[in-house]
Structure 1
Amino acid sequence: MEISFDLKATDGRARTGVIRTPRGDIRTPAFMPVGTAATVKAMMPESVRETGADILLGNTYHLMLRPTAERIDRLGGLHKFMNWDRPILTDSGGFQVMSLAGLRKLTEEGVKFTSHVDGSKHMLSPERSMEIQKLLGSDIVMCFDECPALPADRDTIARSMELSMRWAKRSKEAFGERPGHALFGIMQGGLERDLREVSAQKLREIGFHGYAIGGLAVGEGQQAMFACLDYAPGFLPEDKPRYLMGVGKPDDIVGAVKRGVDMMDCVLPSRSGRTGQAFTRRGVVNIKNARHIDDPRPLDEDCTCPTCRNYSRAYLSHVYRSNEMISAMLLTWHNLHYFQEIMQGMRAAIAGGTFDAWEADFHAGRADGDIAPL
């Protein structure tokens, strides 16, 4: 079975559809929880599935360093290793090399870097990234690219984009023919419209199963990101999925879908859960605040997740202040549930032609703010 994309409905530029894979369907718009080191932190895989997630993201950089892709391959591949039998997308490792690795040296061949884990030396190239992702056995593979931090001058962005396009061609050649697996190209070009268009054209000429919009959510701010998304998705094929990498907050996600994006990922719901922040339809609740200590109400009375059904704000405040592991577990479960609830709401609204009304209700609820203290 080949991986395919069925576009079911549109409402304005917002789209809903299904990415069909041998391991199951991915409903779009889709939010992918991040399983950095073969785990979504503080969650069991079956619990992640219960939140409504159809696909997870794994990190090539982290897994190549520990426990190594070769070990995961010997143990049956990433799906078996982490007990997740549905689709997995792996990033290329390029972003982490640029942001985490020390003493890195960038050349046409690839990137030489020193591991942040143990100081060992490594080389990551398009060919090696494809090899690692094949060993992992991921369903959707990302091209190896360079992602420059913004702001950056136009010449730097242009050189980086051209390098990424050469690496995209090498990634496609190294990927080869792998039935049942997909390779996504990554558009670069910073906030320069003409560079984004050139990048998209080069990727289309190479030909990919799907296309990502890279180089955003790297410090440019929401207004600049949305300005780029006003045109960037339109440069990509309509009949292929569009993936915005590393986004984001709930209002970032809704704004991206409104502008034609089909897939997103972000560590925010799990990272925030570990630091005492919960996302709700009325905005962000900071469980560290003293107002919650005696509050018997749930985080969100309209939420159906196990956290909101079974635990009070007072209890969540207590376990967070006591540094109990269940704090991260309960808040992460709620956050992932809420993010998937947003995706389901948008899918239904796009299919029903009511996306504008849904979006207005979404923003109105958040504008109301949290419920009043007792």
Structure 2
Amino acid sequence: MASDRPRFRFSVSATDGKARTGQIEMRRGTIRTPAFMPVGTAATVKAMKPETVRATGADIILGNTYHLMLRPGAERVARLGGLHQFMQWDRPILTDSGGYQVMSLAELRKLTEEGVTFRSHIDGSKHMLTPERSMEIQRLLGSDIVMAFDECPRADRPIGEIEASMELSMRWAKRSRDAFDAGGEHAAQSALFGIQQGALDQGLRARSAEALRAIGFDGYAIGGLAVGEGQEAMFATLDFAPGMLPEDAPRYLMGVGKPDDLVGAVERGVDMFDCVLPTRSGRNGQAFTWTGPVNLRNARHAEDTAPLDERCTCPTCGKYSRAYLHHLTKSGEMLGAMLLTEHNLSFYQQLMQAMRDAIAAGKFANFADSFRNDYLSRK
């Protein structure tokens, strides 16, 4: 690993309206922004080899604290050389803190000031996750970008519950900062992101951002969106939430999303994204294209010799017909999931590159309008 690379350095090279493009420099490589991070929840991007993920254009992937602490266990991963060595990915890895998964997947969970006690959705075993334990797990994994531990309530909860949850998350953010800073060599080589909460409420978002600024983080995530509120409400929140966060740090919208979500969020000042959608859709016969999503299970593709997307430069589109992809999908063949996942991740990276180019050229508004016109024409 090159020793002269910075621990973490973010720079903006061009802006166009609120949209911006730049890069994050880290020890394990440079992340071009806006960036989309493929999700490698359990030390694998499903249906993909690490080198294939890299070939799609991905600069960074995401792993998950909750899943890896349960299986195979963070201590085991550490004994095996850390997550990068374990899964053979030599670029940056961001690890989610596990907070969202505890709330959405775990059984019989109990929330206290200390943390969350829960039973594994895999085998029912009992665990406790606290800000300190989350930082420890992410250190054992060897994460490059560590996420603060937080709670993520649904936006439709009563406003009093959302306020209390946000305030708890801010106390946990301070504990996460303290525990991360005590991490020795790992803290000296990695970065820590705080997570803004407050659901759809502008006042709560402002208070959360102020608390995070006071603590100080390398980057700032916008949490509590893409949890069922719908695109219109999400965009209304993104009209103000990113601007509350420091301009000199990357802004990461967690768990988003569909291609048109990404374009709208970049338009509003977001720099980083992750979502399981391109990989999950690939395993279920759905492909994303420049003219909208395509369901390969549809019978109309059975004898279609055209490529999946004529504008896409990925190997799937270069070699295989819609008819063949339809056959693989209908037959339940593993290759179908592999080819469609590779295409979807490639499409997402091509979309991010197109946005970076448009921002640099000062033509992002035209790009966004043209993209929406083509992509949403199927709807």
Q: Structure 1 stretches (4+) deviating beyond 6 angstroms?
A: none
Match of 1:311 among 306, 309, 320: 320
Query: Structure 1: which amino acid aligns with 2:341?
Result: T
TM-score by length of 2: 0.97
* Structure 1: gaps spanning 5 or more residues: none
Residue from 48, 66, 91 that aligns with 2:96: 91
Q: Does 1:245 align with 2:250?
A: no
Give yes or no for the alignment of 1:216 onto 2:229.
no
Residue 121 (structure 1) aligned to one of 122, 126, 130? 126
In structure 2, what residue type is equivalent to 1:7? V
Range that drifts further, 175-184 or 113-122:
175-184
Cα distance in 2, alignment partners of residues 180 and 27 from structure 1: 19
Quote the residue 1:268 is aligned against: 277
**1:134 lines up with 2:139 in the alignment:** yes
Unaligned runs of 5+ in 2: 1-5
Aligned residue number for residue 345 of structure 2: 336
> Counterpart of 1:205 in structure 2: which amino acid?
A
Write the mapping of 1:168-187 to structure 2, written as runs, cut at 5 A. Answer: 168-176=173-181, 178-187=187-196
Whether 1:80 aligns to 2:85 is yes
Q: CA deviation at 1:301?
A: 1.3
Counterpart of 2:162 in structure 1 is 157
- The corresponding residue for 2:373 is 364
Q: Aligned ranges for residues 250-261 of structure 1 at < 5 Å? A: 250-261=259-270
* CA–CA distance in structure 2, aligned partners of residues 75 and 103 of structure 1: 31
Paired with 1:369 and 1:123, the residues of 2 have a C-alpha distance of: 46
Correspondence for 2:334 among 320, 325, 331 = 325
Q: Distance in 2 between matches of 1:13 and 1:276?
A: 35
Return 102-111 or 147-156, whichever deviates more.
147-156
Q: How many angstroms does 1:369 deviate by?
A: 3.3
Q: Secondary structure at the match of 2:39?
A: strand
- Distance in 2 between residues matched to 1:160 and 1:368, nearest whole Å: 40
What SS class does the counterpart of residue 332 from structure 1 fall into? Answer: helix
Deviations 1:217-260 (A, max 9, x none): 00100000000000000000000000000000000000000000
1:111 aligns with 2:99: no
CA distance in 1 between counterparts of 2:73 and 2:164 reads 31
Per-residue CA shift, 1:244-283, capped at 9, x if unaligned? 0000000000000000000000000000000000000000
Segment of structure 1 superposing worse, 222-231 or 355-364:
355-364
Range 21-30 or range 318-327, more displaced: 318-327
User: How many Å separate the matches in 2 of 1:91 and 1:99?
Assistant: 14
Instruction: Supply the distance in 1 between the matched residues of 2:24 and 2:60 (Cα, whole angstroms).
Output: 10
Q: What is the match of residue 39 of structure 1?
A: 44
Q: Aligned residue pairs: how many?
A: 370
Tell me how far 1:322 sits from its aligned partner: 1.1
Root-mean-square deviation (CA), in Å?
A: 0.9
Query: Percent identity between the aligned chains?
Result: 70
For residues 203 and 268 of structure 2, the distance between their equivalents in structure 1, rounded to whole angstroms, comes to: 18
Aligned partner of 2:299 among 280, 283, 290 = 290
Normalising by structure 1, report the TM-score.
0.98
